[in-house]
């Protein structure tokens, strides 16, 4: 079965620190990749996505992610975090032919200290 791994369950950073959240998946075929964010008390919302082309994708609020096919990874990065980035972050994978089903990782809780 396809799986998505987020190895960091809880990350605590100070403001202005750099962020990298890991995401690895196990499926070997063509995939679409997503990062979703869930701010406290808010809907789950799309942060960024990769379908094809440039493996470095940029999303909202200064986030970016890099798809490394050889490593089955899609890590999320931000050069300088803000207190308002405190949220839970989910990586998700959609494999081709899956009727557009998303498989989510277990999530990473990011806490940014002011």
Residues near other proteins (CB under 8 A): 4, 6, 9, 32, 34, 36, 42-46, 49, 51, 90, 92, 94, 99-107
CB atoms within 10 A of CB 63: 21
User: Which residue number, 46 or 56, has a Cβ lying nearer to other proteins?
Assistant: 46
User: Which residue number, 6 or 75, has a Cβ lying nearer to other proteins?
Assistant: 6
Shortest spacing between CB 27 and other proteins, in angstroms: 14
Shortest spacing between CB 6 and other proteins, in angstroms: 8
Q: How far, in whole angstroms, is CA 38 from its chain's centroid? A: 11
Residue 87: C-alpha distances to residues 12, 19, 95, 99, 111 (Å): 11, 13, 26, 29, 7
User: Which residue number, 37 or 112, has a Cβ lying nearer to other proteins?
Assistant: 37
Shortest spacing between CB 15 and other proteins, in angstroms: 26
User: Which residue number, 17 or 72, has a Cβ lying nearer to other proteins?
Assistant: 72
**Strand, coil or helix: what is 38?**
strand
DSSP 107: -
Shortest spacing between CB 79 and other proteins, in angstroms: 25
Q: What is the dihedral of CA 24, 28, 31, 37, to 10 degrees?
A: -10
């Amino acid at each position: 079965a396809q799986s998505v791994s987020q190895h960091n369950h809880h990350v605590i950073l100070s403001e202005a620190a750099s962020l990298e959240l890991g995401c690895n998946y196990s499926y070997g075929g063509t995939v679409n990749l997503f990062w979703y964010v869930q701010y406290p008390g808010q809907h789950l919302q799309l942060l960024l996505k990769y379908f094809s082309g440039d493996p470095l994708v940029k999303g909202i609020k200064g986030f970016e992610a890099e798809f490394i096919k050889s490593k089955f990874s899609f890590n999320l990065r931000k050069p300088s975090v803000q207190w308002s980035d405190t949220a839970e972050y989910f990586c998700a994978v959609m494999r081709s032919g899956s009727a557009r089903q998303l498989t989510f990782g277990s999530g990473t809780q990011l806490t940014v200290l002011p």
